[in-house]
Amino acid sequence: MPLTLPQIRRNCQRARQRMQQARQEHWAFGAFNLDDEPTLKAVCQAAANKKAPVLVEVSQGEVDDIGLDNVRDLVDNFKYNYGIEIYVNLDHSPSVDAAKRGIEAGFEFIHIDVSQANHEASDEEIIEATKEVVAYAKLTGASVESEPHYFGGGSNFFDKEIDYEEIKKTFSTPEGAKQFVDATGIDTFAAAIGNLHGKYNVPKILDLELLKRIREAIDCNISLHGGSDTPGHYFREAVKIGVSKININSDMRFAYRTSIEKALKENPDEFSVAKLISRNVVKSVQEVVESKIEDFNSAGKSINPLSI
Which residues belong to the active site? 91
DSSP 177-193: HHHHHHHH--SEEEE-S
Contact status, residue 86 vs residue 78, Cβ threshold 8 Å = yes
**What does the buried/exposed string (b/e) look like for 117-144 if buried means 16 or more CB atoms within 10 Å of the residue's CB?**
eeeebeeeebbebbbbbbebbeebbbbb
Q: Where does residue 243 fall: left (phi above 0), alpha (psi -120 to 50 degrees), or beta otherwise?
A: beta
- Of 144, 200, 212, 132, the C-alpha closest to 167 is 200
3-class SS of residue 265: helix
Q: Which long-range contacts link 233-238 to residues 24+ away (Cβ below 8 Å)? A: 234/204, 234/205, 234/206, 234/208, 235/28, 235/292, 235/295, 235/296, 236/295, 236/297, 237/208, 238/28, 238/206, 238/208, 238/211
Provide CB contacts within 8 A for 46, sequence distance 6+.
Answer: 52, 54, 286, 289, 290, 293
Q: Which residues pair with 30 in a beta bridge?
A: 54, 246
Contact status, residue 276 vs residue 270, Cβ threshold 8 Å = yes
Provide CB contacts within 8 A for 182, sequence distance 6+.
Answer: none
